[in-house]
Each structure stands twice: as C-alpha cells, then as structure tokens.
Homo-oligomer: A and B are copies of this chain.
Amino acid sequence: MPNFAIGVDLGGTSLRVAVVNESGELLKKITTPVKPLRTSERIIATMCQDIGELTRKFDGTGELLGIGIAIPGIIDMSAGILRRSPNLPGWQNVPVREEVERRLGATVVLDNDANAAVLGEYWIGSGREVESMFMYTLGTGVGGGVILNGSIWHGMTGMAGEPGHMTVSPDGPPCPCGNNGCVEQFAGATAILRKAHECTSGKGSRELMAEIRQNETFTVEDLFSLAAQGNEAAIKIFEGAGRALGTSVAAMINLLDLPLYVIGGGVAGGWSIFSPFILEEVERRSFVYRSQSPDSRAVITHALLGGDGGLFGAARMAMLASQGTNPAMRDRSVGSAAP
C-alpha cells in the first residue's frame, strides 16, 4: 500500500480535510462549513478532529507522511504563523503549525492556498510534464503561485506569486491594493460582477440588466451562461478579463520564459470564452513567445484539478517535506518539517 499524507484546505466558506496517497489518489475527504464554527480556536479544533479521524481510519494501510495545511492569506513560513487573511476575519498572527503539531504530534507544513493549488497542478494536473510553471487562481480576487525547478518559489518575504496586482492599465480602475489597473480589476469575480452591474448601455446590455434584475444571486457563472448564449455585453466583460490576463502572461514569458501558464480557480470555468483573448494578447505582446516555432512555444491552459487542487497540493507539501525536499523557499526552513 502506498503511504499517505493529510491535505487541509481552509477557505472562507469551508474546511476540507483529505487523505491523499503518494500515487495522487484522494481516498477520503471531510468537508465542514466554516461560518458556524466562528472562532479560529473552534476551526483548528475541528481540523484536528478531522485529521485524527482520517489518520486512524487509514492507519495500517501505509505510513502517515505528514500534514499539509493551505490557508488563504499572508503566512510567515519560517514561524508557521498565519499573519492575516482577507477570507478569515479575526485570524491574526495565529500559530497554526505549532497548534496542530502540539495537538496531533505530527509534522505540519503550512502554506497559502494559491501555492498549494499550483503545487497540486504541478504534481498531478496540468503541470505533470514540466519542471517550472505559473498558475493564476481566479476567485473573488486573483492570486497565483510559481513553481521553479520543482519547488514553490516563495520569494524573499514569502509573498511571491501575486499576478493579480501586476499593472496592465496604468491609469485603469483603482484597486483596493492602492494601485490602478491591476489584473484583478479585470479578471477577479468582484470586478467582473461590478462591470456587469455597471453595464447599462451597448449591445446586449438590456438583456444583461434584465437578467441581473431577475436573479438576486447573479454570479460570474450566470454571466458565463449569458456569454455562452452570445450576449455581447457579457462577452465584452470576459474579453477584458482575457486581455488583462494575456498582457500579464506575455510579461511573464518575456521575463521568465517558463514552459507553462495555467489559469485556475472558479472564474476559470469561463475558459472557452476568455482564452482566445489571452492568446491574442500573448501573441502580440511577447516576442519571446512568437520567436519560438508554434509547437515549442509556452503552453497557456486551464487547471485540471478543479476545487480539490489545493487539497492535493497541501498533501503534496507534506510528502515533499517528509522527503527532505523543502517545498518552501530554497534558502528558508519550513520549520520542523524540514531539516
């Protein structure tokens, strides 16, 4: 039997804990809504219960290699502390790694959700054939992660992989980050929905406005449906998202010349609608891309693992740490998980 690790993906909506074996199979998953738990103490307690339950269940089928926890927010890698998280109000300077290690007596690796998602894709998703890749995670905002030669690139302060705040339109819409014209202001769900609500003129806008009036819970998926039916106002909004993403992918190709750029996260469901615009911008804006023959160019594609990508990646972080392959920045420790 192959050994296994526990992957934990804690988001603003749900806590998911899964058993993933070394072959990349998800064997069991426990999902708990986060809101009713309220405090970080109760969420960590539930997390530890779920981990304990799954570990006991799979004890004997193989060795537990470790626990990987993915959380959205700013993480102090060396201390294993969640500094703050836009998705988890009230979580400030929570020593997640120490807490879970103390309660369970097992090795824990902590990283942010986008880094876990890219590691999952790298391991058993769209990145299986490459050594280096970049992934965007399109959700409410736009996050991302970089793999270079098989390792997550964390950067000097652990904050690498924020493509959502690259400038693609220097005088564009203001972003809460303080900049103008960030990728996120075109390709994040919040911005996309704002544009849909603000779309009061132009071809297709009447139909779009009627749909929004009828549907109180109008989402990006509803906008995708409209676009798929040919609504021009909806298509135009996704065109903006695609062009912003394409401009930033082109910059990355010119800078890093990686073989693979992956678009993941919920908003990536509209891939068929916005991907032609991504490719158009990349063709136009990256001579490094164009100077290769078409069959040896960088690949730009969508993620394959869907919502469980972060769980696979979190489990993988623990597996790599148990092998002594530091999934964190090469010159930094991930604490007790690495020598």
Residues of chain A touching chain B, judged by Cβ–Cβ distance below 8 Å, are 74, 131-132, 146, 148-149, 153-163, 165-170, 177-179, 247-248, 250-252, 254-259, 284-288, 290-292, 296, 298, 330-331
Q: How far is the CB of A52 from chain B (nearest CB, A)?
A: 35
Asked if residues A296 and B157 are in contact (CB atoms below 8 Å), the reply is yes
Q: How far is the CB of A148 from chain B (nearest CB, A)?
A: 6
Q: How far is the CB of A22 from chain B (nearest CB, A)?
A: 23
CA gap between A132 and B129 in the complex, in Å? 26
> Which label, helix, strand, loop or mixed, suits the secondary structure of the A interface?
loop
Q: Which residues of B are found within 8 Å of A284, using beta-carbon distances? A: 178-179
Asked if residues A155 and B257 are in contact (CB atoms below 8 Å), the reply is yes
Asked if residues B74 and A291 are in contact (CB atoms below 8 Å), the reply is yes
Give 14 new A-B contacts, CB below 8 A, not counting A155-B257, A159-B257. A74-B291, A131-B331, A155-B288, A156-B257, A156-B259, A157-B288, A161-B257, A162-B254, A162-B255, A165-B288, A167-B168, A169-B170, A177-B287, A179-B286
Asked if residues A167 and B74 are in contact (CB atoms below 8 Å), the reply is no
Q: Which residues of B are found within 8 Å of A158, using beta-carbon distances? A: 257
Q: Which residues of B are found within 8 Å of A178, using beta-carbon distances? A: 284, 287, 290
Q: Which residues of B are found within 8 Å of A177, using beta-carbon distances? A: 287
With A74-B291, A179-B285 already in contact, the answer to whether A160 and B251 are too (CB < 8 A) is: no
Asked if residues A255 and B146 are in contact (CB atoms below 8 Å), the reply is yes
CA gap between A178 and B288 in the complex, in Å? 11
Nearest residue, chain B, Cβ from A172: B170
With A166-B251, A168-B170, A251-B251 already in contact, the answer to whether A258 and B331 are too (CB < 8 A) is: no
CA gap between A225 and B248 in the complex, in Å? 36
With A287-B177, A287-B178 already in contact, the answer to whether A163 and B254 are too (CB < 8 A) is: yes
Q: Which residues of B are found within 8 Å of A287, using beta-carbon distances? A: 162, 165, 177-179
- 8 A-B pairs closest in CB distance: A155-B257, A160-B257, A177-B287, A166-B251, A162-B254, A156-B259, A179-B285, A159-B288
